[in-house]
Chains A and B, each alone.
Chain A
Amino acid sequence: MDELIARALNVVQLRGASYADVRVVETTRQSLLVRNGTVQGIGQSEDVGFGVRVVVDGAWGFASSHRMELEEAERVADLAVRIARASALVKREDVDLGPPVVQRGTYRTPVEIDPFTVSLEAKLELLLRADAEMRRVRGVTSTEAEMVFIRQRKTFASTEGSWITQEILESGCGIEATAVRDGEVQRRSYPNSVGRHQQTRGYEFILEQDLVAHAPRIAEEAVALLSADPCPDAVTTVILGGSQVALQIHESCGHAIELDRVFGTEAAYAGTSFLTPDRLGRFRYGSEVVNIVADATIPGGLGTFGWDDEGVPAQRVDIVREGIFVGYLTDRQTARRLWRLLGPSPYVPVESNGAARAMSWNRIPLIRMTNINLLPGTWRLEDLIADTDEGIFMDTNRSWSIDDRRLNFQFGCEIAWEIKRGKRTRLLRNPIYTGITPEFWRSCDAVCGEEHWVLWGTPNCGKGEPGQIAHTGHGASPARFRNVRVFGKR
């Protein structure tokens, strides 16, 4: 592999590249799915290849291949240079990456139990038991239980002298119960929806989730929701469960602070952002209790690593401080551009803050979320509910939609309860809330404390063309929002 990397870097420099990097990525993945009491599949995959990214004539080119051979390295390197020269035909300005980044080192996700050493039998037994517990509940129509384990080994080398190797391990799991009756379809999930909750941890993460213990509860809730009252149409106080706060952060903050979107390079697909550079350091994004950081160093997050895919070290940076928007996620090129645009400022990083991430060897790094965390407040959830005279508690995301500047959002949850005079009362089905991002975060008047704070994992974040799926983390605890428009199914 080292020879292949050296050959590719050598070829592109001979062809005139002013900058180049090579990434070799090897991914092993195992997934298990139990559905309605039967094993639907045990999937295992291996995927290996390399990508060569170059700057030639001031423009970008990238080529990649699964064939790990020296001749192929030469072909791919040559193609990357040719592509860059074609890019230069339609160029407005030269690529500016700022100061060189020279990093050498090794990083490995710390785990207690390597999930690939745990037998398939043990994993299947746990899933089958959880699935059986759900199916014991009368009225449940279908059930699912799944686990996913991923090991990604990657090597990054650049013409600037970086050489980095990393091994990232992820473990994820989830269960889901669906009940159908008289045209109503209700689903409950645990620990999170859309299949699973996931972290950069070992099998100990799976054991901690205790799927079997939670299975009867979520199955019962799915059935109970069939006969629950519909969520009323109202403007009221909303308390969101932690996983839904995580989704809210992801969609309305995490994407909005991606500096490539801000500069328009995702305009045709993912969209742009309302957080324009003139707002940096002065825009009131949320209330004073809203403090958000991007932290690639916190253990366990899906956005935790040693270096990003441009070789920039993992960092923790402020994004929203006491409600004021103070920071972006950057890669090298956009950090440089922001610095050129705004000049020295406490809110402008001199160099990239390390958010360039690529899905695999066959994709270029884009600005992706690391772990975008809402820092914990001081409330206990029980006290927060007791402090709420009237409102709705919603939990676990069911649907999510937001406009292409990340302003107008509408999120549905799996379950809700009415709050009356400080108590959680009747169950409500099909709860939906909607709002405008800064108005919503400014209405946040309470965030629960560390005892409720979970580093949620989002393993399905799409962006870019060709498409890339990123795995991002979002630390969150339940939070309260005032004057929120809610409604049920229309």
Chain B
Amino acid sequence: MLGERRVAELLKGALAQARIGEVEIVLLAGHEALTRFANNTIHQNVAETNVEVAVRVAVGKRLGSAVTNRLSPEALVQTIAQAEASARLAPETPDFPGFPAPQPTEPVFAFDEAAAGATPEDRARLVGEAIRLAEEAGAVASGALSTAVEEVAVANSKGVFCYHAGTRVRFRTVVHREDGSGYAERSAWRWDALHVPSLARSAVDRALRAQHPREVPPGVYPVLLDPYAVQDVVTWLGYAGAGALAVQEGRSWMNDRIGTKVLSDLLTLWDDGRDPAGIPLPFDFEGVPRQRVVIVDRGVPRGPVYDTVTAAREGKPSTGHALPKAWPEAVSLGPLPTHLFLAPGDATPEDLLRALGEGLYITRFWYTRLVHPRDCVVTGMTRDGVFWVEGGEIAYPVRNLRFTQGYVQALAGAKQVGNETYLLSNGRFGADRVPALLCEAFTFTGVTEY
């Protein structure tokens, strides 16, 4: 680890030598290790130490950027100079409001010594336990167990300096046996919060129940979605429309719906980068403190998340949801929620099955893609356990199905929300915490051979 003092020295030292316009530096540093297994053996086992220092320079309203993974003071000065050279060439960006001024940022503790100190042997021991459980059931396990220490810092020439060090652990496994499979996954920032054997048992149980699936024809069915599938729904709602840029450009599912009840009143969705129940990061990549933003309140869309640019267009303050901006491609995305929470309900897993009565119980979705943004229409496949439910009980497993469904319409018909939430990585600097969900109608448009 670099540590806050060394990061502060490096970034403030580099800023002090920059005698030009405005400068912003974002530092990401980390050590990540991942033990991957398949066919009941560890087949890939890797570790990485890396940094990324991303510099943006504004000369008036002209912007340039440069990125390096060299950490010496000389490299940082060179990178600032490169960004400045680009800025001087660029035409003005008329609505650039300047880099943000300092705001008080309360730190959030999310660093676990056990996670930071986990060894290759620790990971191998837990993976070995997961494999043993699969083998005992005559099944084949694959998956990955990862641990990471991450440091994030943002500094700018207006005096912003924010630093956060956190840990992250993640386990996921797919267990196959003959013609069915099961799945389990969790993320956490504490090593002890990751119960690998119980997750492995859950995936094995699901795989055993998924044997000899029957075909169910495409059609519209009521569905009970496990939290893994619900995360896909929530992630697409966030990615494809809960950022201000999408709303401002008229391509969000929220357009024409803000303030109107369009989803089930059982649903409340918010983003909170400060909640230790997630994987916290208390500030965004412009150094603005992350606000808790209610995106949907009891079925009513309340509005998107903002960065400084999209907020300035509407005369509002940023909500602290900027992505790293040194890459021009990221600019196209605008601000996004990366720490989503969907409020749990009070239904137990048994309640949910009873309430479903007859329909499909789905473990997770796979390879989902946006077909049409305004209703958040998504297509994808089911995977790793689909079951037909009759009389409130699992009747038999079914073959995987393709769906093409407006997520907005599906959530309008949400009838029950589970009382347990899973924390699941979203791969974008955060994680989402979501419950299971019962929806009255979901459109399946095809089947596959398994």
Q: Which residues of A contact B (CB under 8 A)?
A: 31-33, 35, 38-49, 59-67, 76, 79-80, 82-87, 89-93, 120-121, 124, 128, 141-142, 144, 146, 178, 180, 183-185, 195, 263-269, 271, 274, 362-364, 398-405, 407-408, 410, 412, 430, 432, 434, 436, 465-467, 487, 489-490
Contact = CB atoms under 8 A, between A and B. Distances in A.
A309 B406 CA distance: 42
A42 B42 contact: no
A92 B39 contact: yes
Contacts of B379: 399, 401, 410, 412, 432
28 contacts: A32-B328, A33-B331, A38-B92, A39-B93, A41-B325, A42-B86, A43-B66, A43-B328, A59-B45, A63-B47, A64-B46, A64-B48, A83-B33, A87-B35, A90-B127, A180-B249, A265-B39, A268-B36, A268-B143, A268-B173, A274-B449, A399-B369, A399-B370, A404-B366, A405-B450, A408-B381, A410-B402, A436-B449
Contact of A410 (B51, B65, B86, B404): B404
Given A44-B86, A403-B367, A489-B377, A39 B63 contact: yes
Contact of A185 (B144, B251, B381, B402): B251
Interface string B44-85: 111111110000000000011111111100000000001100
By Cβ-Cβ distance, the 4 closest A-B pairs, closest first, are A41-B328, A33-B328, A86-B120, A45-B67
A265 B63 contact: no
Contacts of B327: 31, 41, 43
Contacts of A82: 120
A490 B38 contact: no
Nearest to A251: B367
A408 B174 CA distance: 20
Interface stretch (B155-163, B191-199, B298-306, B440-448): B440-448
Contact of B329 (A65, A178, A183, A195): A195
Contacts of B274: none
A146 B332 CA distance: 11
B140 interface: yes
Interface string B78-111: 0000110011011111100000000000000000
B231 to A, nearest CB: 16
A39 B250 CA distance: 21
Contact of B47 (A35, A45, A62): A62
B348 interface: no
B371 interface: yes
Given A124-B89, A405-B448, A434-B446, 12 more contacts: A42-B64, A65-B49, A90-B41, A183-B256, A183-B374, A268-B143, A399-B379, A404-B366, A404-B383, A408-B448, A410-B445, A490-B445
A289 to B, nearest CB: 25
B438 interface: no
A265 B43 contact: yes
A264 B252 CA distance: 39
Given A42-B65, A66-B49, A79-B47, A267 B176 contact: yes
Residue among B120, B125, B176, B427 with most chain A CB within 10 A: B120
A403 B38 contact: no
Nearest to B172: A268
Contacts of B448: 403, 405, 407-408, 436
Interface in B264-294: none
Given A142-B249, A264-B140, A432-B371, A89 B46 contact: no
Nearest to B400: A403
Interface in B200-249: 249
A39 B251 CA distance: 21
B180 to A, nearest CB: 13
A79 B49 CA distance: 11
B249 A490 contact: no
Contacts, number: 279
Contact of A89 (B66, B124, B140, B329): B124
A66 B32 contact: no
A82 B143 CA distance: 21
Contacts of A79: 47
Nearest to A432: B371
A269 B404 CA distance: 22
Contacts of B404: 410, 432, 490
Contacts of B377: 489-490
Contact of B332 (A64, A80, A144, A271): A144
Given A404-B381, A405-B450, A46 B70 contact: yes
A408 B446 contact: yes
Given A183-B256, A268-B172, A31 B43 contact: no
Contact of B374 (A185, A267, A364, A402): A185
A428 B329 CA distance: 30
A261 B450 CA distance: 17
A24 B447 CA distance: 46
A430 B124 contact: no
A120 B174 contact: no
B326 interface: yes
Contacts of A363: 46
A120 B42 contact: no
Contacts of A64: 46-50
B34 interface: yes
Interface string B363-389: 000111111111001011101000000
Given A40-B328, A63-B47, A402-B367, A268 B82 contact: no
B40 interface: yes
A38 B91 contact: yes
Residue among B46, B48, B142, B380 with most chain A CB within 10 A: B46
A83 B120 contact: yes
Contacts of B66: 43-45
Given A44-B66, A87-B45, A120 B89 contact: yes
Interface string B16-39: 000000000000000011111111
A351 to B, nearest CB: 20
B328 A91 contact: no
A408 B402 contact: yes
Given A90-B128, A490-B404, A60 B331 contact: no
A268 B142 contact: yes
Contacts of A180: 249-251
Contacts of B143: 268
Contact of B63 (A41, A269, A274, A465): A41
Contacts of B71: 66-67
B368 A401 contact: yes
A394 to B, nearest CB: 14
Contacts of A405: 448-450
A87 B50 contact: no
Contact of B93 (A40, A267, A271, A400): A40
B277 to A, nearest CB: 25
A46 B40 contact: no
A66 B32 CA distance: 13
B321 interface: no
B383 to A, nearest CB: 6
Interface in B296-328: 325-328
Nearest to A180: B250
B442 to A, nearest CB: 12
B50 A362 contact: yes
Contacts of B445: 410, 434, 487, 490
A80 B86 CA distance: 39
A362 B52 CA distance: 13
Contacts of B46: 62-64, 83, 363-364, 466
A398 B372 CA distance: 9
B449 to A, nearest CB: 6
Given A63-B46, A404-B367, A404-B381, A490 B443 contact: yes
B164 interface: no
B47 A264 contact: no
Contacts of A412: 369, 371, 379
A59 B251 CA distance: 50
Contact of B449 (A268, A271, A407): A407
B308 to A, nearest CB: 14
